């Protein structure tokens, strides 16, 4: 750790703020069908920045206009480790720009905060990772292993960027990852999992005055909704309690009858179809089969309400299970060990309320992940999203110190 003071000296607040603002000013909202609304421009910016700093850069075109940018420093020689600092380049929509105090892509700097869409989620974290890694060549320190900064696409939707990385040679080479998502710089070792279960309820269309001639799918959807609290209770029993995560929740988010594209709602018509969507969040302790069984139980409770009605369901965007990483993992040990040196305070542990790209890397590769990054964890996706400059700088210092410690400890 002799190189640490030299590395930390290369984390410059003004430069980090400027880089974050540059990233925020490139709107990278993904809008399907619009060939200009994707991660192409921001990926090109990140690529150029990394090349200037001496990173070896690989571009993986996951889908047209939607690249993963992987910038690496150092080598993974025999016995050495490879650490990923992970961020995503896409952001969610800004919504109504008039609702924002400052224009959402202006990256306004006021009173120690940068405001704008993506400041916290998560261009600030990505900028901190870039600056942290670049500290090595700038300080003339050869990384004692390999550092990869991954700027991935599509975290906010299907996570195709993380899935692509997990299936690639670059993914298989990794030994651990720090997911730089906004978690107030806590060391988060657990993440809740999520399944969006979409139910398609098929009945039989009929006149509202003669309901006996049809099979009403709305009645079945209602029966399923009544079962939701029971499903939630069962999940709470099956999943482990967690100090850092709220317990499992089952939340109805969409109900439509008839669903879009399956007819026009009319006061006197029993529709043929109903659609119901449940947002199911779980803590560690249940696997995909266990979740499927519980969802099937809900389906059967609905179907018995109206004989003749059939319920089919699917998981939108596949299952994302809850993740947990043990404190004995080398990446956790490394981060805990350097935290005070990097920040001047003791580490706080925490949990991630939703899923991240780390969920995919954990599920697909078994990779030990720690989610830790700058930004209030409640602020993502809100109007007037911001990141604190102090937290940004702290994050970059945590990343550079953790990378050095983790790679040196191989």
Q: Output the CA torsion sign for 85, 90, 181, 356.
A: negative
The alpha-helical segments, DSSP class H, found in 123-204 are 124-139, 160-166, 169-172
Q: Between 122 and 141, how does the x/- string for binding to Zn ion read (CB under 5 A)? A: x-------------------
| Residue the block writes with tokens 């098929």 | 202
d(C-alpha 128, C-alpha 373), whole Å: 9
End-to-end Cα, the chain, rounded Å? 13
Residue 87 C-beta: closest distance to Zn ion, Å: 8
Residue placing its CB nearer to Zn ion in the complex, 181 or 385: 181
**Which residue in the set 108, 121, 275, 294 belongs to the binding site for Zn ion (CB under 5 A)?**
121
d(C-alpha 155, C-alpha 66), whole Å: 11
Residue placing its CB nearer to Zn ion in the complex, 218 or 369: 369
Q: Rounded to 5 degrees, what angle do the CA atoms 74, 162, 135 make?
A: 30
Residue 379 C-beta: closest distance to Zn ion, Å: 11
Residue placing its CB nearer to Zn ion in the complex, 181 or 391: 181
Residue 371 C-beta: closest distance to Zn ion, Å: 10
Residue 190 C-beta: closest distance to Zn ion, Å: 17
| Residue the block writes with tokens 């390999």 | 146
Q: Between 48 and 77, how does the x/- string for binding to Zn ion read (CB under 5 A)? A: ------------------------------
d(C-alpha 177, C-alpha 331), whole Å: 8
Residue placing its CB nearer to Zn ion in the complex, 24 or 274: 24
Residue 197 C-beta: closest distance to Zn ion, Å: 23
Residue 146 C-beta: closest distance to Zn ion, Å: 24
- 138-146, 177-185, 286-294, 383-391 -> range binding Zn ion (CB under 5 A): 177-185
Size of the site for Zn ion (CB under 5 A): 3
- 7-15, 113-121, 303-311, 326-334 -> range binding Zn ion (CB under 5 A): 113-121
Residue placing its CB nearer to Zn ion in the complex, 53 or 121: 121
d(C-alpha 78, C-alpha 97), whole Å: 52
The alpha-helical segments, DSSP class H, found in 68-168 are 124-139, 160-166
| Beta carbons of 156 and 287 less than 8 angstroms apart | no
Residue placing its CB nearer to Zn ion in the complex, 85 or 255: 85
d(C-alpha 225, C-alpha 228), whole Å: 5
Q: Between 181 and 200, how does the x/- string for binding to Zn ion read (CB under 5 A)? A: x-------------------
Q: Report the residue number whose CB is nearest to Zn ion.
A: 121
d(C-alpha 408, C-alpha 410), whole Å: 6
> 226 phi and psi, to 5 degrees?
-65, -25
Write the DSSP symbol of residue 29: B
Residue placing its CB nearer to Zn ion in the complex, 74 or 193: 193
Site residues for Zn ion per CB under 5 A: 121-122, 181
């Amino acid at each position: 750790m002799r190189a640490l003071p030299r590395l930390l000296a290369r984390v410059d607040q003004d430069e980090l703020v400027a880089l974050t603002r540059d990233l925020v000013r490139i709107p990278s909202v993904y809008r399907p069908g619009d060939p200009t609304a994707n991660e192409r421009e921001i990926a090109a910016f990140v690529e150029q920045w990394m090349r200037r700093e001496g990173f070896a850069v690989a571009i993986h075109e996951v889908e047209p206009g939607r690249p993963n940018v992987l910038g690496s420093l150092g080598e993974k020689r025999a016995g050495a480790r490879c650490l990923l600092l992970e961020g995503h380049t896409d952001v969610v929509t800004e919504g109504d720009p008039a609702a924002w105090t400052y224009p959402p892509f202006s990256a306004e700097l006021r009173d120690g905060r940068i405001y704008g869409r993506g400041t916290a989620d998560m261009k600030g974290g990505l900028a901190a990772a870039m600056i942290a890694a670049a500290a090595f060549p700038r300080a003339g320190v050869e990384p004692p292993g390999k550092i990869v900064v991954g700027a991935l696409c599509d975290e906010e939707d299907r996570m195709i960027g993380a899935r692509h990385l997990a299936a690639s040679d670059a993914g298989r080479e990794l030994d651990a990852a720090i997911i730089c998502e906004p978690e107030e710089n806590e060391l988060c070792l657990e993440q809740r999992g999520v399944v969006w279960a979409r139910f398609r309820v098929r009945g039989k269309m009929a006149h509202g005055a003669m309901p006996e001639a049809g099979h009403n799918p709305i009645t079945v959807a209602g029966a399923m909704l009544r079962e939701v609290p029971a499903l939630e209770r069962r999940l709470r029993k099956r999943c482990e309690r967690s100090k850092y995560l709220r317990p499992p929740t089952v939340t109805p988010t969409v109900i439509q009858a008839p669903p879009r594209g399956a007819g026009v709602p009319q006061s006197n018509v029993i529709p043929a179809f109903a659609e119901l969507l449940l947002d199911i969040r779980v803590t560690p302790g249940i696997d995909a089969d266990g979740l499927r069984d519980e969802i099937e139980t809900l389906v059967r409770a609905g179907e018995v309400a109206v004989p003749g009605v059939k319920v089919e369901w699917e998981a939108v965007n596949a299952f994302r299970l809850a993740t947990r990483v043990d404190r004995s993992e080398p990446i956790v040990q490394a981060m805990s060990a350097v935290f005070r040196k990097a920040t001047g305070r003791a580490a706080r542990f925490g949990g991630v309320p939703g899923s991240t790209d780390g969920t995919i890397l954990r599920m697909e590769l078994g990779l030990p992940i720690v989610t830790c990054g700058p930004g209030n964890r409640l602020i993502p996706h809100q109007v007037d999203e911001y990141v604190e400059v102090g937290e940004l700088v702290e994050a970059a210092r945590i990343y550079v110190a953790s990378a050095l410690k983790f790679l040196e400890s191989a």
